[in-house]
Every structure is written in C-alpha cells, then in structure tokens.
Amino acid sequence: MDRLSRRLVLAILLPVVCGLAACGFRLQGEAELPAEMGATRIVTSDPYSHFVRRLTILLEQNGAHVVDADAGAAVLEIPLNEVRKDVLSIGGSARIREYRVVHRVRFRLVNAQGDVLVPEQTLEQSRVISFDEQDILAATREEEFLREELADTLSRQVLRRLGTAGA
C-alpha cells in the first residue's frame, strides 16, 4: 500500500472511530451481575431446555456460580419458558404455508432472604418460517435452528436485564 493510500484510509477511519467513541459506543463486555448472584439457583419446570442450559453457561461466564441447592444462594425463578407455533397463512390445498415460532420467558431474581432484586419480567422473541411441504426435512431443521436461536437471544436478553440490577 503506498503512502497516499494509507493517508486516505486514515482520513476515512479516523473520523469514524472518533464518532463512535464520542457517541459512547463500546463493545459489550461481561455483564455486571448483582453481587448476590455469586451463588445462584435456577428454579424452573424444565431445567434441560436449550434456554436454561444456555442461560446457565452465560451466567457462569459472567461470574455467577450456578448451584443445585443452597440456602444462601440467590434464586432466579423462571416460571414461564414456552415455545409455540402460530399459523400465519394456509395455502390453496389447506396446508400450512407460513407460521411463526414464538418463544416467551418470564423471570425474576430474589436474593437469599427473599427480597426481589429484579421484578418479574416477560421477554418474547419470534421468527416467521415459510413451510415447503416438498422439503419437509429442511423445514424441520430450519425450525430447530430458529428455536435454538430464539433461546440464545432470550438468554442474552435475560443476562443483560440481570446485569442492569448489578449496575
């Protein structure tokens, strides 16, 4: 790269970087979880769902130690963790052409004494799938992938919400 090209690149990148820094942009680091979450117990009806497994991993990556039973642990209650399909359109042969996969979770965080740290909140994500009856295997795999993606997205959102309680 010659000298003129380097100057041109610097002339373009420098204002962009300064603009990003001035607006407060920064890469997302670790969530600042409440100190009470040092030991955390997750209470849910389905501890083996993709959402709960992913949330457990994210919590541990951010400094919380997820325990099975501990009287001195904070409790992350997840009373609702549901995935459903809503039909959006039906084709001429009375078969589903398009549907929406919806994943909804409700959660709250209480400390070991039962004081509410994060009040109950509901989060929901959805994606639309076009169904091709000629390629059922691909449609099934696409739905599985979308369910996993929705669970990943929601677990990150829950982590961010828990992090706001720690700030």
**Which amino acid makes up residue 93?**
S
Q: What is the pTM of this model?
A: 0.76
- In CATH, what class is 3-166? alpha beta
CA distance 99 to 79: 26
pLDDT digits (tens, 9 = 90+) for 87-116: 888 877 777 788 899 999 999 999 999 999
User: Which of 101, 102, 133, 106 is CA-nearest to residue 120?
Assistant: 106
Give strand ranges (E) for 91-146.
96-110, 116-130
Give me the half-sphere count of Cα atoms (radius 13 Å) on the Cβ side of residue 101. 17
Tokens of residue 135, six digits: 């390629």
pLDDT digits (tens, 9 = 90+) for 82-95: 999 998 888 777 77
pLDDT digits (tens, 9 = 90+) for 24-35: 544 445 668 988
Quick one: how far is CA 95 from the chain centroid?
32
CA distance 7 to 38: 49
Dihedral sign, CA of 8, 9, 10, 12? positive
